[in-house]
Amino acid sequence: MSIIEESNKRRTFAIISHPDAGKTTLTEKFLLFAGAIQTAGAVKSNKIKKNTISDFMEIERQRGISVTTAVMSFEYKDLKINLLDTPGHKDFAEDTYRTLTAVDSVILVVDSVKGVEEQTEKLMNVCRMRKTPVIIFVNKLDREGGDLLSLLDELEKKLDINVCPLSWPISRGTSFKGVYSIHNRNLHIFKPNMTHMDEDVVAVSDLNSKLLDENIGTHHALQLRNDVALFDECYGSFEKTRYLAGELAPVFFGSALNNFGVKELLETFVEISPTPQNRMSDCRMVNPDEDAFSGFVFKIHANLDMRHRDRIAFLRVCSGKFERSKFYKHVRLNTNLRFNSPASFMGQKKSIIDEAYPGDVVGLYDRQSFKIGDTLTEGENIMFQGIPNFSPEIFKELISTSMKAKQLEKGIKQLTDEGVAQLFIMKNGGRKVIGTVGQLQFEVIQYRLANEYGAECRFEPLNFYKACWITSENQKQLNDFCSYKSDRIGYDKNGDLVFFSESEWILNHYIKDYPEIEFHFTTEFKLSNND
């Protein structure tokens, strides 16, 4: 098969949600449905339930040794589906944001009882920024909750995207009857605690048909007719091109726990979701069907089992064919590397592969030669763009408490290369500032520095509200600002200028006072020249 044929067979996506909305349950149902696993309960939740370092370490240790790592692939209807795993804990949200750079589309799970939650909004912001096509699955229809037309409204407003329901639920909670598929014009009848995946489906091409009344009762049939008429007017019909452009999100309803709505979701996903897409490099757009191989590292998984110290770098293939034991250029290090045991992940099994194609994710055993965003090619000097850093939310000064300064340097460099946290160096005095999105990461850093590098440290809280990357065409204004706020200016790992604001109010004040300075909340601005 040619590269383009192989590429067209792939669908690479992630399931994302606010914790507890049902991401793990839906992932498992997809794998069960595709026959990639045989028993429920096989997909380990990567949720850190106790919010403690020991819980995190235990999960990481298990993940390192056996179960899923970054991707679970399965075959469905002659397609190879690569489902990228994302962390279940909000403190590791940046890991999820990075994973989103390696997918071509996402399924966003929303809890129908809780509606749009904090993490749902943040994840959607990242999708919107990258124009990633999104399908929304509204879950837990078996539970009582609010009005679903209002939920559609909430989705549009809070997620800032046009939505288009492709199915519509008939009541909810204890009186939940099922969903009507607007897309396929049929009725899916709900039965609680369904163990099999096949639902009872009745073809109802005309909503005025008596079949509807017979199956769900006159009261619910009437309600459904009214609802569909109402939102036909409000939401219009589904346009695939707008979905693919990231402008319109089709919405499905169901209950992952009860296997309900999962089949329809998966079938529509394979029908409409995008094939591997073009990727921007610093020099040019790279197309998946090019002969020459290229790919980038979007995630590094440290093995916390001390007996196996290797890390695994996860590489997304962007073009051409990746081959085992062939030399490839590590562009940043300007060196050639080859990989004798590249891994792929079918279902939950890890196996060595001989080749991989665009859209595939390959696990490369690594002895610390990779950092997030590194590019491999067949020789061309290109670096893939689009692995931005996001403004962290918590900042602390890193203070060494042992004499092992070199180990600390090395450890912190490697942990930040892995993307565990961001390191900034203050302009005045060269203090080291660690920025994360969650408290738990500081404990992870402290633990790993001590255990893997023998370097003890402590953290001093800092009164920083946000880190913004600052740029300006007016060098004088930028210099003036940096001198005026010199104790709040630092550099990131790439030497880019960063301003640490003390509060939102102060930040807004400076944004107004220094109109020629641009304050960026992600490093995505570095890519805008290529857009």
Provide, rounded to whole angstroms, the least separation between the CB of residue 256 and ligand G4P: 4
Q: Is 285 left (phi over 0), alpha (psi -120 to 50) or beta?
A: beta
**Minimum distance of ligand G4P from residue 122's CB (angstroms):** 15
Distance CA 175, CA 155 (A): 24
Three-state SS for 498?
strand
Residue nearer to ligand G4P on the CB measure, 33 or 481: 33
CA distance 142 to 523: 42
Do 297 and 333 form a contact (C-beta atoms < 8 A)? no
Rounded-to-integer distance, Cα 509 and Cα 198, Å: 58
Residues shown for the chain: 531
CA–CA distances in Å: residue 94 to residues 129, 147, 392, 422: 15, 33, 9, 10
Closest CB 43 distance from ligand G4P, rounded Å: 9
Q: Are 109 and 137 in contact (CB under 8 A)?
A: yes
Site string for ligand G4P, 142-171 (x = CB under 6 A): xx----------------------------
Does 257 interact with ligand G4P (rule: CB under 6 A)?
yes
Binding mask 443-482 for ligand G4P (x = CB under 6 A): ----------------------------------------
Short-list 257, 300, 243, 259, CA closest to 13: 243
| Residue window 18-57: x/- pattern of binding to ligand G4P, with contact defined by CB under 6 A | -xxxxxxx-------------------x-x----------
CB of 113: closest distance to ligand G4P in angstroms?
9
| Residue 297, beta-bridge partner list | 315
CB 476 → ligand G4P: shortest distance, Å?
50
**In 3D, which of 246, 242, 492 has the Cα closest to residue 390?**
492
Q: How far is the CB of 437 from ligand G4P (least distance, A)?
A: 17
**In the bound complex, what is the minimum distance in angstroms from residue 21's beta carbon to ligand G4P?**
5
Binding mask 206-245 vs ligand G4P (x if CB under 6 A, - otherwise)?
A: ----------------------------------------
Size of the site for ligand G4P (CB under 6 A): 19
Looking at beta carbons only, is 193 or 463 nearer to ligand G4P? 193
**Of residues 17 and 391, the one with the C-beta less far from ligand G4P:** 17
Give the three-state DSSP class for 42: coil
* Residue window 102-141: x/- pattern of binding to ligand G4P, with contact defined by CB under 6 A: -------------------------------------xx-
Site track for ligand G4P across 273-302, x = CB under 6 A: ------------------------------
The residue behind tokens 């191989």 is 293
Which strand (E) or helix (H) includes residue 54?
A: helix 53-65
Q: Which is nearer to ligand G4P, 45 or 186 (CB)?
A: 45
The bridge status of strand 10-17 relative to strand 105-111 is parallel
Q: x/- site string to ligand G4P, residues 51 to 90, per CB under 6 A?
A: -------------------------------------x--
Q: How far is the CB of 61 from ligand G4P (least distance, A)?
A: 20
- Does 373 engage in binding with ligand G4P (CB under 6 A)? no
- Considering the complex, state which of residue 22 and residue 392 has its C-beta at the smaller distance from ligand G4P: 22
Minimum Å gap between C-beta 190 and ligand G4P is 11
d(CA 300, CA 365): 10
CB atoms within 10 A of CB 466: 18
Cβ–Cβ under 8 Å, residues 253 and 148: yes
Residue 256 lies near ligand G4P (rule: CB under 6 A):
yes
CB of 271 to ligand G4P, least distance (A): 23
User: HEC profile for 157-192?
Assistant: HHHCCEEEECEEEECCHHHCCEEEECCCCEEEECCC
Residues 49-72 as b/e (b if ≥16 CB within 10 A, e otherwise) read eeeeeeebbebbeebbeebbbbbb
Among 17, 105, 319, 416, binds ligand G4P (CB under 6 A): 17
Q: How far is the CB of 181 from ligand G4P (least distance, A)?
A: 18
| Region near ligand G4P per CB under 6 A, out of 56-64, 125-133, 175-183, 256-264 | 256-264
Q: What is the rounded CA–CA span in Å between residue 369 and residue 226?
A: 60
Task: Name which of 22 and 342 has its Cβ closer to ligand G4P.
Answer: 22
User: DSSP for 365-412?
Assistant: EESS---TT-EEESS----B-----B--SEEEEEEE-SS-HHHHHHHH
Six-digit token pair at 139?
């879950």
When the beta carbons of 110 and 433 are compared against ligand G4P, the nearer one is 110
Stretch that binds ligand G4P, among 53-61, 251-259, 262-270, 393-401 (CB under 6 A): 251-259
| Closest approach of ligand G4P to the CB of residue 131, in Å | 24
Footprint on this chain of ligand G4P (rule: CB under 6 A):
17, 19-25, 45, 47, 88, 139-140, 142-143, 255-258
